[in-house]
Amino acid sequence: MTMTKDNKVLALLQAIAETLEISPQGQPVRIDPKELEKSMSKVEIKQIFQKLADDFGVIELLGTPYSLEPISSIEDRDVYKFTVPDADKFKKLLGEYEAKSDDNSKSDKTSRFRFDQGILFRDFCDTVLKIKGENTLEHRLVQTALKTRVGEEIDTLTDELEMDWRQLYDTAKRLNDKIKTAFKISDFFQIDYQNKKIKKTIE
């Protein structure tokens, strides 16, 4: 899976954090970029290190791989060498990127009820939801739901539905089961039996 820009920055921040834990206190930190190169290019790694130094000010670069600058030790030839002047500032930035990653993960997991626009709606109902026939109550309710906003009450008296409350209730319950099976979404329709109200809960 392709990494986002934020995830690439986070990966490098996490690599720095792990290396800091095993590096002698007060000594420059060294990171071999080979492991990072499995998920991003050499150019991206160099740009992110530069960004952390110049834009965020959380590291001070002392040396980079493939540099033409003279090196003090052979072990510095293929590594990024730097210091972390302010550990608290670094941890704060790391926490911000970890929070971004958590938010994106939650967003990616948000259930969405969609059908491929490249196929006919009746084929979607037939093959995915196992609804047989365009004139069925289930077909009409799904069609109405797709046009309805989340949280908006579905009116039984519309010409499109043409069903009483009991029919709507039974149909919504059946569709909830089918949608849960097909999309792993629970309670697509929120059913308030006492007040005779049904709403769509997922976009």
Q: What is the pLDDT of residues 117-172, one digit of tens each?
A: 445 556 667 666 777 777 788 888 888 887 778 778 887 655 566 788 888 889 88
Q: What mean pLDDT is predicted for residues 72-87?
A: 82
SS3 per residue for 104-156: HHHHHCCCCCCCCCCCCHHHHHHHCCCCCCCCCHHHHHHHHHHHCCCCCECCC
Say if residue 85's pLDDT is above 60: yes
- pLDDT (0 to 100) of residue 110: 45
Q: Which residue has the higher pLDDT, 131 or 71?
A: 131
Span 6-51, pLDDT tens digits? 889 999 999 999 999 888 888 999 999 988 888 889 999 999 999 9
Q: What mean pLDDT is predicted for residues 190-199?
A: 86
Tokens coding 123: 């084929």
Could you say which DSSP state residue 23 is in? S
- pLDDT (0 to 100) of residue 1: 46
Tokens coding 178: 């089918």
- pLDDT (0 to 100) of residue 129: 74
What is the pLDDT confidence band of residue 203, given thresholds at 50, 70 and 90? low
Question: 94-99 — which CB contacts under 8 Å span 24+ positions?
Answer: 94/10, 94/13, 94/14, 94/17, 97/6, 97/9, 97/10, 97/13, 98/10
Span 87-119, pLDDT tens digits? 999 999 999 988 887 655 554 444 445 555 445
Tokens coding 133: 């026939």
Based on its alpha-carbon atoms, the radius of gyration of the chain, rounded to whole angstroms, reads: 28
b/e map of 13-30 (b: 16 or more CB within 10 Å)? bebbeebeeeeeeeeebb
In sequence order, the β-bridge partners of residue 49 are: none
Tell me the domains of the chain and their CATH numbers: 5-108 (1.10.10), 121-200 (no CATH)
Span 41-69, pLDDT tens digits? 999 999 999 999 999 999 999 988 876 55
